[in-house]
Amino acid sequence: MSEHATCLVKGSDYIVSFLIDNGVTDVFGIPGGVVLDFLYALDKRNQDITVHLNYHEQSSAYAACGYSQVEGKLGVAYATRGPGVTNMITAIADAYYDSIPVMFITAHSYCNKYKNMRVEQDQEIDLVPMISQITKYAKRVDEGNDLPTELTKAYNLAISGRKGPVFLDISNNILSNEITIKSEKYIDESNVESINVKNITEYIRMALENSERPILLIGDGIRNLKAISNLKQFVEKVEIPVLSSRFSHDIMQNSLMYFGYIGSHATRYSNFILAKSDLIISIGNRMSFPLSSQSFRPIVENKKIIRVDVDNNELLRKIPNCKNFNVDINTLWPQLINTKLTYKYKEKWLSVCCQLREVLFSHDMDYPSEMIGRILDNINENTVIISDVGNNEFWLSRASVFAKRKNRVLYSKSFGSLGCSLPKAIGAYYGTRKPVVCFTGDQGFQFNIQELQFVVQHKLPIMIVILNNHSSGMIRSREKQLSYPKYLHTTEDSGYKAVSFNEIAKAYNCEYYAHTDTKEKFDEMISKVVKPCIVEIFVDETTEISPILLKGNECQKLTPNLPKEMYKKLNEL
């Protein structure tokens, strides 16, 4: 459209052309009266873009998240006014918390005149005030001439800087009528700043030279800024040990310089390395340590810290001994890579890290992680992996690091949206056209179980792995830790009940396998993700997540405890 000085075009057609021009191939949603023009406009261009009908608006929004999250491109979901959009709000928040660029579109047919009137028109509600808190941009568009500017602005904000969701509530008169289009270019100046790259590089160089045990701490910001190839080049050159957040373990997993993920449910050797380091260079990691914690306060008090983050608001969290740089890491890479960077006693420090990893690498593997590891060992490295929220995600993270898989793994990280994995798997498939393995729990699967119909109907190569511990395991563990007198709504004798997933599979005409099948049959089945299937792994409800950092323990002292002599020896390295 930008090639024409002025033209008339139907509003819905303009939106569809805009999406196609910006690389969107798939849109997810459920139609309603006010968005039918948009739906039919999408259908007219079905050679270039496909619109998918989900079975719940929340799933449409999650699918758009999965589509975007797997490749970093713009996802798009639509819904009708009122309850259609409010059903999406949890997934919109998930996109906001995890910096996923998704455009959410709806329409309205009435302009409220009386602000204090509770119901002026059925289903009509001003959605912008409630959604503006969980989006980078939310706008109600009432004038056709404003559509090109607002659409371009929303798109640019979604994909720039720290990415995130945007929301447009468009008058259906705009969708159904012609609007005047003028060539114009929106310029986002929100991230324009003067950065002295040489000064930052020099600061990092000097910090490294004065360090004996540095680490590079990475987070998903690295991935969102498409900086992974430069990261690997930098790490190989400097030979600096890399630690990550749990949700970023797949970024460097096949590198010898990667030493696992840190945190309260860490790979144990990673927390040891974190505790022993004297310099932390954090890139794209929020460093959301609880600073009042007896476990993590000593970590930040006794080290030099350098934080590089594209979002200046993240740097508002004050961390002791920390130098902050608000900059897109991609502007730094050329200078960093071309500067001679080294640190003292490199061989000795790398030897310590390798000893810790070698001794503790398989120390915390348990039955659920071993079963997941068997699945990961049998799938193609191009297969996308999706995690739900709950105990299953911790078992998956541990198994993935143990198996040293390069597969892309999607999580609901900061918002922790239970039930997101199945609809995200749908979006991830359409984002890559590659097989998907979706891990979930017996509770989370039921949150959006209706999307099994979508998977089967369209014969998508999605394997759904249900880790069934017949309980709400994570909350049951929490009830135990807090010493409540009894379990409540978390076990089968306290109100929670799982269904027969074998019978569910039959109802949806989906293939079903249990891990109790012979090893040969099980391994053969999971090596061929070519059509919809459910795999159920039974886990005893008393199985706890392991290891875990208990309140008050030293960062490296996870439970179950290591043998005293082993812990002492490793602690003294």
Residue range 269-300, pLDDT digits in tens: 999 999 999 999 999 999 888 778 888 888 88
Written as one letter, the residue type at 375 is I
Mean pLDDT of 357-376: 92
- Which tokens is 169 given? 């509530």
- Three-state SS at 82: coil
Among the ranges given (59-63, 186-190, 255-259), the one the predictor scored with the smallest mean pLDDT:
186-190
Give the pLDDT confidence score for residue 4 in this predicted structure.
Answer: 44
**Other C-beta atoms lying within 10 Å of the C-beta of residue 461:** 18
Separation of alpha carbons 572 and 557, rounded Å: 13
pLDDT for residue 188 is more than 90 = no
Q: Is residue 432's pLDDT more than 60?
A: yes
Burial class of residue 493, CB neighbours in 10 A (0-12, 13-18, 19+): exposed
Which stretch of DSSP H or E encloses residue 466? strand 462-468
Q: What is the DSSP string of 245-299?
A: -GGGTTSSTT-TTEEEE-STT--HHHHHHHHH-SEEEEES------TT-TTTHHH
Residue 572 has what pLDDT? 93
The predicted pLDDT at position 117 comes to 59
- Residue 34's contacts (CB-CB under 8 Å, 6 or more residues apart) are 80, 81, 106, 107, 108, 109, 172, 175
pLDDT at 171: 94
Among 59, 45, 43, 130, CA closest to 455: 59
pLDDT at 67: 98
Provide the 3-class DSSP secondary structure of residue 324. strand
For 100-137, how does the pLDDT look when each residue is reduced to its tens digit (9 = 90+)? 999 999 999 776 665 675 665 766 678 999 999 999 99
Query: Beta partners for 409?
Result: 385
Q: What's the confidence (pLDDT) of residue 2?
A: 42
Report which of 179, 24, 162 is spatially closest to residue 99, judged by C-alpha positions: 162
pLDDT above 50: residue 458: yes
Domains of the chain, each with CATH number or no CATH: 6-182 (3.40.50.970), 197-360 (3.40.50.1220), 367-538 (3.40.50.970)
Q: What is the mean pLDDT of residues 509-522?
A: 78
Residues 462-471: what's their mean pLDDT? 95
**502 Cβ neighbours under 8 A, 6+ residues apart:** 512, 514, 536
